[in-house]
Structure 1
Amino acid sequence: MKTEGTTPEEVIANCPPERQEAMRKLRKTILDNLPAGFSEGIGYGMIGYAVPHSLYPAGYHCNPKLPLPFMSFASQKNFIAFYHMGIYADPELLDWFRTEYAKVSKTKLDMGKSCVRFKKPDQIPFELIGQLVSKVKPEDWIHTYEKNYNSKSK
């Protein structure tokens, strides 16, 4: 489910009213903790954060015209989704996140490979999300991305 909008503010304004406050708070949490160098934008109908071409000219291998994606979030049909490619590509970071999530949440972790799903906006562990966001700098993500992408393309 894509949320319409060309700016983060428009995307949030077009979310269901009961999710808008959580979406604003999630964006603020990300921006307050985002390491310097990432850029915010809209991609695939979601608010996203990427390594811009100025830091990584090669761009995203699927479409080099796009910056290297890293993290995004969206209001989906039945939940708010938070996508973090670092927890997909780095087993140590994933283990840390799972361990810390269990310490701060009363709900079971609902996640796919890079997607954490929050069915109830009031159950989003914003402080933990902030800690996760702060752990990976653009240069760290470039290194992890290239290591994983190059090993798969061989």
Structure 2
Amino acid sequence: MQSKAKTVADYLSEIPAERLPSMEKLRTVIRKHLPEGYEETMAYGMIGYVVPHRLYPAGYHCAPEQPLPFLSMASQKNGIVLYHMGLYADAGLMDWFLNEWKKVAPKKPDMGKSCIRFSKPELIPFELIGQLLERISVADWIALYEQRFVKK
């Protein structure tokens, strides 16, 4: 179920108490390691990090009135989920991430196309997430996005 929160503070106030410390730590890691230019917002019922229209006026091809999404985090029914569009768009980045994951976690990650699910918030590899975030600048994401998703 998507949150109807209008602000990040409102969203955080809705999170179950046992998950809040991990969500706040993940948000801190994101804000520290995400390259300059991305902006924090509420998007699609989650905390989102986007390329604002002032940097990419075309917006999201599926909904041009929306800024270009890059990363989202959510507290969902079964845990914390991080959505990283770069993992979905760049096979090399995914390979790097999976190889690095093996070094810090005992089991394979629970992943979908762009999501990483953490059913046990205490096992989030925060340092690895920080390294992942540093790998795609706004300019890199725009170029990759246009290459993979925008029809010419």
TM-score by length of 1: 0.95
Count the aligned residue pairs.
152
Displacement after TM superposition at 1:3 (Å): 3.0
Displacement after TM superposition at 1:8 (Å): 1.5
Corresponding residue number in structure 1 for 2:73: 73
Corresponding residue number in structure 2 for 1:112: 112
Q: Which runs of 5+ in 2 are unaligned?
A: none
Amino acid aligned to 2:148: N
Corresponding residue number in structure 2 for 1:16: 16
Displacement after TM superposition at 1:101 (Å): 0.7
Corresponding residue number in structure 2 for 1:46: 46
Deviation string 1:88-143 (CA, Å, 9 cap, x unpaired) is: 00000000000001110123210000000000010000000000011111110000
CA distance in 1 between counterparts of 2:20 and 2:107 reads: 21
Given that residues 83 and 116 in structure 1 are in contact (C-alpha distance below 8 angstroms), is that contact kept between their aligned partners in structure 2? yes
TM-score by length of 2: 0.96
CA distance in 2 between counterparts of 1:111 and 1:90 reads: 15
CA distance in 1 between counterparts of 2:6 and 2:106 reads: 35
2:145 is paired with a residue whose SS is helix
Q: Which runs of 4+ in 1 moved over 2 A?
A: none
Q: Which runs of 5+ in 1 are unaligned?
A: none
1:94 is paired with a residue whose SS is helix
Corresponding residue number in structure 1 for 2:129: 129
Amino acid aligned to 1:66: Q
Amino acid aligned to 1:8: V
Task: Note closer, same or farther for the CA distance 1:19–1:82 as it changes in structure 2 (3 Å cut).
Answer: same
Percent of counterpart pairs with the same letter?
A: 55
Corresponding residue number in structure 1 for 2:144: 144
2:64 is paired with a residue whose SS is coil
RMSD (Å), alpha carbons: 1.0
1:97 maps to 2:103: no
More helix by proportion, 1 or 2?
A: 1
